[in-house]
């Protein structure tokens, strides 16, 4: 087994995180702003799987990324604070879901994302 990396001097590892949210009575600019802010913290709305030439778009308002931290609970807590602030800054206090996992496998089916806003 490979030794764990250190994050701020503490043993850590990389986690796959999934964030999904809903905005009530929002305009398209609100979604775009949230999407851009989530991208700033490393969360994307498309993924490239093994063998995919182009990334695939995830379901609406679903974002994924890899985050390093000491444990899943700490990563979730930090993300919850950040995502909550992003939504609040956009003028919304709506619901969101965060999943953090270390030993994961994923599959996305659907159209390729041919856009340039990955």
pLDDT of residue 103: 81
| Tally of structural domains, the chain | 1
In a domain, 109, yes or no: no
Domain hosting residue 31, numbered range? 5-101
pTM of the model: 0.79
Distance between CA atoms of residues 113 and 55, nearest Å: 6
pLDDT of residue 90: 87
In a domain, 55, yes or no: yes
Residue 55 sits in a domain whose CATH number is: 3.30.70
In a domain, 113, yes or no: no
In a domain, 15, yes or no: yes
pLDDT of residue 54: 82
**For the packed helices 28-40 and 72-89, what is the interaxial angle rounded to 10 degrees?**
140
User: Do 24 and 92 touch, CB atoms closer than 8 A?
Assistant: yes
In a domain, 73, yes or no: yes
10-residue mean pLDDT profile of the chain (118 residues): values are: 55 91 89 94 87 83 93 95 92 88 79 56
Distance between CA atoms of residues 118 and 113, nearest Å: 8
């Amino acid at each position: 087994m490979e030794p764990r990396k250190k994050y701020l001097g503490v043993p850590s590892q990389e986690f796959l995180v999934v964030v999904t949210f809903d905005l009530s009575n929002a305009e398209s600019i609100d979604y775009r702003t949230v999407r851009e802010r989530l991208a700033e913290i490393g969360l994307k709305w498309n993924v490239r799987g093994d063998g995919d030439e182009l990334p695939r778009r995830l379901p609406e308002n679903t974002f994924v990324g890899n985050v390093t931290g000491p444990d899943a609970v700490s990563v979730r807590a930090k993300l919850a604070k950040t995502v909550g602030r992003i939504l609040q800054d956009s003028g919304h206090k709506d619901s969101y879901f965060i999943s953090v996992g270390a030993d994961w496998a994923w599959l996305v089916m659907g159209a390729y994302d041919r856009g340039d806003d990955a």
